[in-house]
Chains A and B, each alone.
Chain A
Amino acid sequence: MQKTETARMPLELSLISVFDQHQKELFDASHPKVSLSRAEAIDFLKEKGLPTRKNEKWKNSPFPKQYEKDYMIDVPSVSYDKNVNEIFRCEVHGFEAHTYSLLNGWYYSSEDKQLQTLENGVIVGSMKKAQVQYPDVFEKYYGKTANHQQDGFAAANTALFRDGIFIYVPEGVVVENTMQLIKMINREEPLMVNSRNLIILGKNSKLTFMHCDDSVNHFSSFINTLTEVFISENAFFDLYKLQNINDNTSLLNNTFFRQEANSKLRVNVLSLNGGKIRNELHVDLMGEFAEADLNGVYLMDKQQHIDNQVFVNHAVPNCYSNELFKGVLDEEASGIFNGYIYVARDAQKTNAFQRNNNILMTPKAVIDTMPFLEIYADDVKCSHGATIGRLDNEAMFYLMQRGISKADSRLLLMYAFLAEVTAKVSIDALRNNYEDMIKRRLRGELSICERCVLHCSMPDNPVEFEIDMSKI
């Protein structure tokens, strides 16, 4: 039964009315499969609405509070200006990345680069263009791993998205340089952006991908991103998510992975700043000997909120998954960690591990951490652990007894606490950069940095990358 119009929240109403207004355009520009799921998704949204706190998976979430806000949805794309892109060009010393951008949800490049085939055969470009150009690929993959009826946000994204990034790595191609996606929101009105990405790794291929969410101003926005990733046999996908958005922004990052046999997935999520952030990682291990290594670091303060929802589905035997999420919550920040592990009845010899460690710096900081393990096989190794603590007083005294100030001792210990996770970043230059960002954030410098977390090459804002450990 559909909700009555009066029962709807303003955000729901806007989503539905924008769809109704633009549906012809939306359907006309879409691959048949995309159109079909748009229709199903809007029906779902009309019937169920956006998730409320009555929904178990949204129980402690502050996101529903945003539904009363009046966001502008679906703004037109702006024409390409090389200089705008230049601002966001990231220069990490010793680290080569090819950068691609989305602006207000639209793939942002010169006209000739909207969809390109690189020398190594990799196809990269706009989702809008790709579905027209590569109908067979969309037929085969689109909507295959994401459940657009999971909740109202997945449905809204599916129904309303206009664009996003599309990447296809052909069989056997090892992409040497990291590909980096920078998502920018640049509007003065409160804006909700629904962008959709599709990434496909062929057999025996490898891709390192960095997904950056940044704000360029203090204006409020709501980012609802859905990404589908297919990792074929023996392929390796190395994903870095960097999140540094302003305090008025809500970010929902929904990523669905489907892994075939012997494939490998490694995820490192670094949430440095943001009003409200929710990361959902859904991993379907569909082929034997697939591995998923999922890691996250979060550093929140003020009244910020971080929510990491990790779902790992061991559908077949002999797979491995590991979750390690660590965070520091200061002032009145709040956080949620939910780790779901599902082991199917025949998924014997499964190894599934999960750990979430938190440091609360003040009595007002809050974390809800919860493991959910559903195991139907009998020959498995599974473990989970969650801790909530404060900085170790013994260690504080030890450091201070050596002359290190209280403030520096705190920083050293917080940094050390997180080092276990950052150590998993295998690219040296990137790890140094990660560590540098964490240090800056812990020192309170990053929250005022409104630019890309990777420090853009602003001539009037030179950034020093050399790390002086003595100063942390």
Chain B
Amino acid sequence: MLLNIKNLHVAIDGKEILKGLNLSVNKGEVHAIMGPNGTGKSTLAAAITGREGYEITQGEIMYDGELINDMDPDERANKGIFLSFQYPVEIPGVSMTNFMRTAINAQREFKGEQPISAGEFLKKMEEKKKLVDIHSKLTNRSVNEGFSGGEKKKNEIFQMAMLEPKLAILDETDSGLDIDALKVVAKGVNELRSDDNAFIVITHYQRLLEYIVPDFVHVIYDGKIVKSGGKGLAVELEERGYDWITEKIEA
């Protein structure tokens, strides 16, 4: 099992957001996490990636056989956990190339490998750019600075392709994307899918799941997974909304 979350409770500033969440993800699987706003979807992503300010008060996150509750975000990343951000951060003054090369070399150093050569790096950049239809040179562009909404999301998938994670979490990657960009992003993700990695796709809408077809769909409500099913569940949610599930819980 790649990821095994048991009875996870997470609080922000003392306020409990996740209230006993369980989730297991195996290699080769795609899990969709759906649910209304403010129920804990992004908190789950933050807890798995180790974001500061998200306090695990109970439960455990096992990743690749290891308890990662207290691990630093960079170490988790170097062990293969990747987050495609809902709001990618603009970092003026840091060029995309330097950023990616620093990240790849950090990962290599972690694994005890030699730094990537300039030639190898550029070749890899070119190859992965094609995957998500990025045509600009990137070399002279600062990280996400002046990127359109679509470009930012494509850039996240590009970074994912460069870093080749074992577990990728896509946090609302579809938000703010037009249908063409959505297709490009989905195509990129599908090409990266393999028996050795897994994806957690967090989304509001079923739309993205038409292109990235999940093996499992989970609904989060009030900090817990309240319903799980196959890809058919997403279609059902699209048609019926969330009320039929949440009402059952409240009742």
Shortest distance between the CB of B49 and any CB in chain A (Å): 6
| Interface pair B72/A401, CB less than 8 Å apart | no
Shortest distance between the CB of B51 and any CB in chain A (Å): 6
User: In whole angstroms, what is the CA distance A469 to B99 when docked?
Assistant: 9
Shortest distance between the CB of A438 and any CB in chain B (Å): 11
B142: A residues at CB distance < 8 A? 416
User: In whole angstroms, what is the CA distance A401 to B89 when docked?
Assistant: 12
Count of chain B residues with Cβ under 8 Å from any Cβ of A? 30
| Interface pair A470/B91, CB less than 8 Å apart | no
Binds B, one of A201-209, A281-289, A403-411: A403-411
Taking the complex as formed, is B103 at the interface, i.e. its CB lies under 8 A from any CB of chain A? yes
Taking the complex as formed, is A388 at the interface, i.e. its CB lies under 8 A from any CB of chain B? no
User: In whole angstroms, what is the CA distance A413 to B159 when docked?
Assistant: 19
| Interface pair B101/A470, CB less than 8 Å apart | yes
| Interface pair B107/A403, CB less than 8 Å apart | yes
- A: interface residue count bin: 20 to 34
Shortest distance between the CB of B55 and any CB in chain A (Å): 15
B39: A residues at CB distance < 8 A? none
| Interface pair B72/A416, CB less than 8 Å apart | no
Taking the complex as formed, is A397 at the interface, i.e. its CB lies under 8 A from any CB of chain B? yes
Q: A470-B105, A470-B115 are in contact. Are A412 and B94 (CB under 8 A)?
A: yes
| Interface pair A397/B98, CB less than 8 Å apart | no
Taking the complex as formed, is B93 at the interface, i.e. its CB lies under 8 A from any CB of chain A? yes
Chain B 62-120 residues near chain A, CB threshold 8 A:
72-74, 77-78, 82-83, 85, 88-89, 91-94, 98-99, 101-103, 105-107, 110, 115
Closest to A404 in B: B106
Pick the contact of A401: B77, B98, B102, B110 (CB < 8 A): B77
B134: A residues at CB distance < 8 A? none
| Interface pair B163/A397, CB less than 8 Å apart | no
Taking the complex as formed, is B180 at the interface, i.e. its CB lies under 8 A from any CB of chain A? no
Taking the complex as formed, is B247 at the interface, i.e. its CB lies under 8 A from any CB of chain A? no
| Interface pair B106/A405, CB less than 8 Å apart | yes
User: In whole angstroms, what is the CA distance A412 to B106 when docked?
Assistant: 13
Taking the complex as formed, is A395 at the interface, i.e. its CB lies under 8 A from any CB of chain B? yes
A408: B residues at CB distance < 8 A? 102, 106
| Interface pair B78/A403, CB less than 8 Å apart | yes
Closest to A418 in B: B93
Taking the complex as formed, is A394 at the interface, i.e. its CB lies under 8 A from any CB of chain B? yes
| Interface pair B77/A400, CB less than 8 Å apart | yes
Closest to B115 in A: A470
B98: A residues at CB distance < 8 A? 412, 469-470, 472
A469: B residues at CB distance < 8 A? 98, 101-102
Closest to A407 in B: B74
B107: A residues at CB distance < 8 A? 403
| Interface pair B52/A397, CB less than 8 Å apart | yes
| Interface pair A403/B77, CB less than 8 Å apart | yes
A401: B residues at CB distance < 8 A? 49, 73-74, 77, 82-83, 85
User: In whole angstroms, what is the CA distance A469 to B98 when docked?
Assistant: 6
Among B49, B91, B92, find the residue whose CB has the most chain A CB atoms closer than 10 A: B91
| Interface pair A415/B72, CB less than 8 Å apart | no
Shortest distance between the CB of B236 and any CB in chain A (Å): 33
A406: B residues at CB distance < 8 A? 72, 74
B83: A residues at CB distance < 8 A? 401
| Interface pair B102/A470, CB less than 8 Å apart | yes
Interface residues of A (CB under 8 A from B): 392-395, 397-406, 408-409, 412-413, 415-420, 469-470, 472
Sample of 9 more A-B contacts, CB < 8 Å, known A398-B91, A406-B72, A412-B91: A395-B89, A400-B72, A401-B73, A402-B106, A412-B94, A415-B94, A416-B92, A416-B142, A419-B92
